[in-house]
Amino acid sequence: MENQSAKIEKAIFAAGCFWGVEEAFSRLPGVTNTKVGYIGGKIGNPTYKEICTDTTGHAEAVEIEFDSTKISYGQLLDFFWEVHDPTTLNRQGPDYGSQYRSAIFYFSSEQEQQAQQSKEKLNSSGKFNRQIVTQIISTTTFYDAEDYHQQYLKKNPRGYCHISFDKLFAK
């Protein structure tokens, strides 16, 4: 068997509070790096305090670098749908506001097409009683969140999170 060289690509997902979303994606084999930040808003270099006002238009998001020879964008999309409720508008668990919206920020027309197909397939599957409200948007500038937010749950293992890791990784 040939040893393929790594092919690093990027994906950006917003699925509520970015602490748990980052932790969940970082556990996937083939994910080489994650960082949290803000995307999709109307001001440059937003701070956490600013985005929490729900007036900047930014979403809390996770930028994921992945080796596409080990995990596909489609597999990341499947996981994205599992880590949050894509039918709640601007809300995940107890967190609410547009900064907690469900969104996929695509880097290419191929990612856009895969995201749209994935969303349509899930919408018609009957898994949810409501329609999926996830936005599928072209990537704009991703602003890194403050250092204390990066790898937050690794630094604070008892920190708050809306994701049930035991259920997600029970396999």
CATH number at residue 73: 3.30.1060.10
What's the domain range around 68? Answer: 8-158
Residue 132 belongs to some domain of the structure: yes
Task: Using the Cα atoms of residue 59, residue 131, residue 68 and residue 155 in order, give the sign of their dihedral.
Answer: positive
Residue 1 belongs to some domain of the structure: no
Q: How many domains does the chain have?
A: 1
Residue 61 belongs to some domain of the structure: yes
Residue 31 belongs to some domain of the structure: yes
Using left for φ > 0, alpha for ψ between -120 and 50, and beta otherwise, residue 126 falls in: left
Q: How far is CA 92 from CA 1, 156, 162, in A?
A: 44, 20, 7
Local confidence pLDDT in tens for the 171 residues of the chain: 445 688 999 999 999 999 999 999 999 999 999 999 999 999 999 999 999 999 999 999 999 999 999 999 999 999 999 999 999 999 998 899 999 999 999 999 999 999 999 999 999 999 999 999 999 999 999 999 999 999 999 998 877 777 777 777 875
Residue 147 belongs to some domain of the structure: yes
Residue 37 belongs to some domain of the structure: yes
Q: Which of 11, 15, 17, 122 is catalytic?
A: 17
pLDDT of residue 161: 79
17 flagged as catalytic: yes
Residue 166 belongs to some domain of the structure: no
Strands 135-138, 102-106: parallel, antiparallel or unpaired by DSSP? parallel
